[in-house]
Structure 1
Amino acid sequence: MSSQPEELTIQTHALRLAARAWGPPDGVPVLALHGWLDNAASFDTLAPRLPGLRLVCLDMPGHGHSEHAAPGELYGFVDTVARVAEVPRVLGWARYCLLGHSLGAAVASVLAGTFPRQVRRLVLVEGLGPMVEAPEQAPARLARSITEQLARRGRPAPRYASAEEAAERLRRAVGTLSAEGARALVGRGLCAVEGGVTWRSDPRLRVASRLRLTEAQVLAFLRAVEAPTLLVRGAQGYPETPALHQRLAAVRDIATVTLPGGHHVHLDAPEPVAEAIAAFLAPEHAGPG
Structure 2
Amino acid sequence: MSVRQESATWVATLRRHTIPTELGPCTVRVQQGIGSGAPASGTPEVYLHGTAGSWATFRPLLSEASHHDRVLIDLPGWGESTKGARLEHFGIETMTRAVTDVLNLLNYPRWNLVGHSMGGFLALHIAATWPERTASVAAISPTTFGVSEAAREPLRSLSRFPAFVGMMLLMRSLAALGPAGLAMVRAVGATPVMGPLMSPFFADPPGMSAGVIRGLGHNARPASFSAAARAVAHYDFNQWRGIRCPVLATRGETDVFTSPSDLDRLAATVPQVQTVTIQHCGHFAHVEQPEQVQRLLEDMWSL
Q: Same fold (TM over 0.5)?
A: yes
* Alignment partner, residue 211 of structure 2: 183
Q: Structure 2 vs 1, CA of residues 223 and 100 (structure 1 numbering), >3 Å: closer, same or farther?
A: same
Quick one: which of 94, 101, 119 aligns to 2:109?
94
* Alignment partner, residue 6 of structure 1: 14
Determine what percentage of the aligned residue pairs are the same residue: 23
Q: Structure 2 vs 1, CA of residues 200 and 237 (structure 1 numbering), >3 Å: closer, same or farther?
A: closer
Secondary structure at 1:160's aligned position in 2?
helix
Quick one: which of 41, 49, 65 aligns to 1:34?
49
Counting matched residue pairs gives 263
Quick one: which of 173, 187, 205 aligns to 1:160?
187
TM-score, normalised via structure 1 length: 0.76
- Give the structure, 1 or 2, with the largest relative contact order (CA under 8 Å, sep 6 or more): 1
Q: Structure 2 vs 1, CA of residues 212 and 33 (structure 1 numbering), >3 Å: closer, same or farther?
A: closer
Quick one: which of 244, 264, 279 aligns to 2:263?
244
- Equivalences for residues 260-279 of structure 1 within 5 A: 260=279, 261-279=281-299
TM-score, normalised via structure 2 length: 0.73
Is there any run of 5+ residues in structure 2 with no aligned partner, and where?
1-8, 34-38, 154-168
> Counterpart of 2:177 in structure 1: which amino acid?
R
- Higher share of residues assigned helix: 2
Secondary structure at 2:26's aligned position in 1?
strand
Contact 2:198–2:213 (Cα < 8 Å) also in 1? no
Shift of 1:241: 4.2
Per-residue CA distance 1:161-197 (angstroms, 9 max, x = gap): 88464863663463445523x624745x78xxxxxxx
Is there any run of 5+ residues in structure 1 with no aligned partner, and where?
138-143, 191-198, 284-289
Shift of 1:235: 1.7
Shift of 1:273: 1.0
Provide the C-alpha distance between the structure 1 equivalents of 2:248 and 2:175, rounded to a whole number of angstroms.
40
Provide the C-alpha distance between the structure 1 equivalents of 2:173 and 2:91, rounded to a whole number of angstroms.
14
Q: Structure 2 vs 1, CA of residues 201 and 99 (structure 1 numbering), >3 Å: closer, same or farther?
A: same
* Alignment partner, residue 79 of structure 1: 94
Q: Structure 2 vs 1, CA of residues 41 and 212 (structure 1 numbering), >3 Å: closer, same or farther?
A: closer
Contact 2:48–2:115 (Cα < 8 Å) also in 1? yes
Q: Structure 2 vs 1, CA of residues 278 and 165 (structure 1 numbering), >3 Å: closer, same or farther?
A: same
Q: How big is the alpha-carbon RMSD for the aligned residues of Structure 1 and Structure 2?
A: 3.4
Per-residue CA distance 1:248-278 (angstroms, 9 max, x = gap): 1111111122222111011111111111111
Provide the C-alpha distance between the structure 2 equivalents of 1:99 and 1:72, rounded to a whole number of angstroms.
23
